[in-house]
């Protein structure tokens, strides 16, 4: 007897083939048969009449680790409710392992307070073993973070690594890759990576080649210097001969939107030259950023302690204010989403905070950074809707949340993409005909799975893991917004994870996620 039989749905297998009326038979966590009119008995039969049946969606750019929710909200309901069954963490240079010293974990403090967290692992193997013993709602894989490696050795120092330190980083990364890390991530915009030498980046990237694992990079600039930043990492990937994914691709600031064609040209040229290059994108015109990255690079090179010293030094402060005023940034569009130390800034724009304090918006930026000890995240409505849609439709892109999984309401504002990214993309597909349905589903499933090297997920086929989403193409849509970001989407009926029902009726059911290694 089958465990689950899904009948009467339009099945998209994830490979780019058009949907067909098929039944899907599931037993012992895997798909065992896809065919018309399967009549075998099953413990549970699901009628998917008028619904699409697709592989579970893969979120290749996820931060449930750096926001700590994979551990304190393990059902990952906000992701399951979007049809997401697999997430890849350890992005933007920060991972929860390997930890070379207590300093390593500080890479996540720009996203989450370290107060009260409990860690009982050091190696990546120990971390994955810990996760495998924890009931979680989705499948989980992770990259190793460059900043996590670096900070474990150098602490708050941002100098060039010595040869001995670089050898330790190489050995630690090699071990992590052997223990199941899917690749290496870099966050080149952040304080503890911004001054990493090209030699350091290249030597670490080259370790990915023997196992065919990939490099994920948060660019140094997503604004006026985006072209130079792309050149840097394309050259890095070409020199190391490794696949590369650019994280959360965007062009920030209206005065930089004219660079779009040049950006796309660089991707296409690199691809034509044989670089295995991709990028992920979320279908929203607002970023969710760490506020200190709005400062000039020299002002945040030394980590949080140095940032606070710099913004409180009168001479440095004047120089930063001149930089911010010349940047053309509209601080009326920048909203405080999350802060440390309860300064009551959440939900207010930087301009409103400045008005309340009787100072300029630029002064308010520095005041907020000082009051929160540089632990503050903001929404910035600074992207072009048209360009976001073009990025989503690109054959080189994956759709990702760049967010975290949550169980429900939160004291801070989270980006609505944590609750609605995949349904929002599918609504765009339906309303604006960005892609054919089969192409859109492929972009969410088999394409990221192939890039990750996990061929037994992202497809509906005999022998594949039974990660399945059943959704209504007519009603699917996101409901979360910036004032109410934790509203569940419509149209996702059921989600199966490894052959068990994980989500239905806006509730998490079985926590049946597995740890994914390569």
pTM for this prediction = 0.96
Range 159-182 average pLDDT? 96
Same domain, 244 and 329: no
Q: What is the pLDDT of residue 301?
A: 75
Same domain, 184 and 261: yes
State the pLDDT confidence band at 110, using cuts at 50, 70 and 90.
confident
Same domain, 326 and 398: no
Looking at every residue in the chain, the average pLDDT score rounds to 95
pLDDT digits (tens, 9 = 90+) for 114-126: 888 889 999 999 9
| Six token digits for residue 254 | 């209206």
CATH number at residue 186: 3.20.20.140
Domain that holds residue 211: 57-286+383-453
**Could you say which of 425, 453, 481 is where a domain stops?**
453
In a domain, 269, yes or no: yes
Residue 354 in contact with residue 343, Cβ under 8 Å? Answer: no
Range 359-378 average pLDDT? 93
**Could you say which of 315, 348, 380 is where a domain stops?**
380
**Pairing status of strand 20-27 against strand 334-339:** unpaired
Q: What is the pLDDT of residue 111?
A: 85
Q: What is the pLDDT of residue 343?
A: 67
Closest CA to 305 of 105, 156, 103, 111: 156
In a domain, 481, yes or no: no
Q: What is the pLDDT of residue 116?
A: 82
Give whole-number Cα distances, 314 to 191, 282, 305, 318, 485, in Å.
21, 39, 16, 6, 38
Q: In 3-state terms, what secondary structure has residue 504?
A: strand
In a domain, 295, yes or no: yes
Q: In 3-state terms, what secondary structure has residue 349?
A: strand
Contacts of 174 (CB under 8 A, 6+ apart): 207
Same domain, 120 and 93: yes
Strand ranges of the sheet holding 277-281, from the earlier edge strand across to the other edge: 144-145, 183-187, 214-218, 244-246, 277-281, 397-399
Same domain, 175 and 265: yes
Overall domain count for the chain: 2
Q: What is the pLDDT of residue 422?
A: 98
Q: What is the pLDDT of residue 449?
A: 98
Paired strand residues for 349: 335
CA distance 254 to 84: 32
Helix runs in 221-333, H state only = 226-240, 260-272, 303-312, 314-326
CA distance 114 to 337: 18
Longest Cα–Cα distance of the chain, Å, equals 78
Burial 64-95 (b: 16+ CB within 10 A, else e): bbbbbbbbebbbbbbbbbbbbbbbbbbbbbbb
Same domain, 110 and 248: yes
């Amino acid at each position: 007897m089958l465990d689950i039989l899904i009948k009467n749905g339009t099945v998209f297998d994830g490979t780019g083939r058009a949907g067909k009326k098929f039944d899907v038979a599931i037993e012992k966590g895997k798909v065992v048969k896809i065919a018309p009119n399967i009549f075998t008995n099953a413990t549970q039969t699901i009628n998917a009449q008028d619904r699409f049946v697709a592989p579970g969606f893969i979120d290749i750019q996820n931060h449930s680790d750096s926001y700590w929710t994979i551990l304190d909200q393990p059902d990952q309901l906000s992701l399951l409710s979007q049809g997401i069954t697999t997430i890849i963490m350890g992005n933007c240079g920060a991972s929860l392992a390997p930890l070379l010293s207590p300093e390593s974990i500080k890479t996540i403090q720009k996203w989450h307070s370290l107060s009260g967290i409990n860690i009982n692992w050091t190696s990546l193997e120990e971390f994955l073993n810990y996760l495998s013993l924890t009931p979680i709602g989705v499948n989980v894989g992770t990259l190793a973070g460059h900043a996590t490696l670096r900070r474990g050795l150098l602490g708050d120092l941002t100098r060039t690594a010595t040869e001995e330190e670089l050898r330790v980083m190489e050995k630690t990364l090699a071990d992590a890759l052997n223990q199941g890390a899917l690749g290496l991530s870099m966050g080149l915009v952040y304080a503890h990576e911004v001054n990493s030498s090209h030699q350091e980046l290249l030597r670490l990237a080259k370790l990915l080649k023997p196992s065919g694992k990939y490099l994920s990079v948060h660019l140094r600039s997503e604004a006026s210097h985006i072209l130079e930043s792309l050149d840097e990492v394309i050259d890095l990937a070409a020199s190391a001969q490794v696949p590369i994914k650019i994280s959360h691709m965007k062009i920030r600031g209206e005065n930089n939107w004219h660079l779009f064609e040049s950006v796309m040209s660089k991707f296409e040229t690199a691809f034509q030259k044989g670089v295995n290059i991709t990028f992920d994108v979320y279908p929203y015109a607002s970023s969710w950023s760490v506020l200190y990255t709005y400062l000039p690079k020299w002002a945040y090179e030394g980590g949080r302690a140095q940032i606070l010293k710099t913004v409180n030094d009168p001479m440095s402060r004047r120089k930063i204010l001149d930089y911010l005023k010349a940047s053309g940034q509209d601080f009326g569009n920048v909203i405080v989403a999350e802060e440390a130390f309860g300064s009551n800034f959440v939900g207010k724009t930087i301009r409103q905070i400045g008005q309340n304090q009787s100072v300029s918006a630029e002064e308010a930026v520095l005041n907020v950074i000082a009051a929160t000890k540089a632990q503050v995240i903001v929404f910035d409505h600074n992207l072009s809707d048209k360009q976001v849609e073009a990025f989503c439709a690109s054959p080189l892109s994956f759709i990702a949340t760049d967010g975290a999984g949550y169980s429900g309401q939160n004291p801070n504002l989270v980006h609505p993409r944590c609750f609605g990214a995949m349904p929002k993309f599918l609504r765009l597909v339906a309303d604006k005909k960005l892609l054919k349905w089969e192409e859109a589903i492929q972009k969410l499933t088999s394409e990221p799975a192939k890039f990750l090297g996990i061929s037994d997920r992202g497809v509906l086929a005999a022998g594949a893991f039974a990660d399945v989403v059943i959704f209504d193409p007519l009603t699917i849509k996101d409901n979360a917004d910036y004032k109410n970001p934790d509203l569940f989407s419509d149209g996702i009926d059921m989600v199966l994870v490894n052959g068990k029902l994980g989500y239905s009726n806006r509730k998490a059911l079985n926590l049946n996620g597995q740890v994914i290694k390569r």
